[in-house]
Each structure stands twice: as structure tokens, then as C-alpha cells.
Chains A and B, each alone.
Chain A
Amino acid sequence: GENVEQHPSTLSVQEGDSAVIKCTYSDSASNYFPWYKQELGKRPQLIIDIRSNVGEKKDQRIAVTLNKTAKHFSLHITETQPEDSAVYFCAASNSGGSNYKLTFGKGTLLTVNP
């Protein structure tokens, strides 16, 4: 089955700096890669996703890149703000397949220091 590795497990940056979180996946059939943000005591929320026919996707200060050959994808947050502090999870799935599940990385605790 799919295995998703996520690094780093913790990341501390100064406000205004950029943050990068990286994930690798094992199943070459995976074609859908969402990212979730979970603030303390709250539910995970989808912040951005990318599909395998696209190499990069941006939404304001957030961008995700995908390298299918290397089987890795990354989340980039620019101009970080204290409200970006949260745990971020990457995930992968074969959206056309029959396993009907997202496999998640173990998460990255991002702390943005004012």
C-alpha cells in the first residue's frame, strides 16, 4: 500500500520568512495530493491540493509543487504570519483507484515566531 513520509516533523521560522514542508510517496499510481492544516484543538482543513497532471499550484501565499518522477511534493508558505502556526499534513491517494482512502504523512508542527 501507499506510504507517505513527511519532513521535517517540526519547523520554526520567524514571521515573514518562508517555510517549506516536504513529502515523499511510494505508490506511483497516486495522483491526488492534498494538504491539510490543523490548528490546535481544531479539525484538519484542506488548504490546497494538486493533481498529477500539474507540476505547481499557487493560492496567495501558499504553493504546492509536485515531482512525479521523484515521487515527492512540497508545500511552500511565503511571508509567514503567526496565524500560520499549526500542524500541516500531506496526503496522497489514487483518486481513480479502488482503495478509497487518503494516506497521510505524520505531520509537521510549524511555529511562526513574531
Chain B
Amino acid sequence: KAGVTQTPRYLIKTRGQQVTLSCSPISGHRSVSWYQQTPGQGLQFLFEYFSETQRNKGNFPGRFSGRQFSNSRSEMNVSTLELGDSALYLCASSPSTTTRYGYTFGSGTRLTVV
């Protein structure tokens, strides 16, 4: 069974640009969550989607947005990139409508903003 797939694996962007990251969850998983991982802040919650609906959003500026498609694939978008947006962006999928079974993480997209 395929795992959580994130594309691209690496990305270099310039300040002010925008970027779109993609996540394909495990087949049958309908919940997709996104986290930002940085050395100083650990894993910070961005948002969670279930059946194309955003159910929760973390404390990130409006430049960070996401969506989920009918096949459960999800994308996140960051507009007007800043140097501080450089991070590993992790997507995680879950089989449940709640968090009770934990997450399976993808390998992440390493975003570098220069």
C-alpha cells in the first residue's frame, strides 16, 4: 500500500514568489493535515482537511492557504514568500474522522526561500 506522497521533495524560491505543495494521502484516508517543521519551533500545525472541508487552522498568516480535492489529495499554497518560510513542510494523513489513530507522515517538501 503506497504511503503519503509529497511533491516536490525540494524547492528553492525567491522572496515574494508563491509556491504550491502537493500531498497525496494513503488510499482511503480522508483526513489530511499539514505541519511546518523548523529547528527552533518543532512541528507547528498549519491546517487540517476532511472531505474537502477545512476543519481547523493553526496560527499562521493568511499567506498560508490550502485545499483538498474530492480524491482527498491536498495542496497548500504560500504567497508572497518570506525568508522565514524556509522549512520542511510535512503532510500527514489519517484514516479516521478524529485523531485517534495518529498520523502517517509523508517525507515532506523542503522549501528554501532566498
Contacts and interface: CB of A to CB of B under 8 A. Distances in A.
A2 to B, nearest CB: 10
B70 interface: no
Interface stretch (B11-19, B41-49, B61-69, B73-81): B41-49
Nearest to A103: B45
Interface in B25-83: 31, 33, 35, 41-43, 45, 48, 50, 55-56, 58
How many A residues touch the partner, as a band? 20 to 34
Interface string B82-114: 000000001000000011101111111000000
Describe A's contact surface by its main secondary structure. Answer: loop
A101 B48 contact: yes
Interface string A78-109: 00000000000100011111111111111100
Given A44-B90, A104-B42, A96 B100 contact: yes
A32 to B, nearest CB: 6
A34 B105 CA distance: 13
A45 interface: yes
Interface of A: 32, 34, 36, 42-46, 49, 51, 89, 93-107
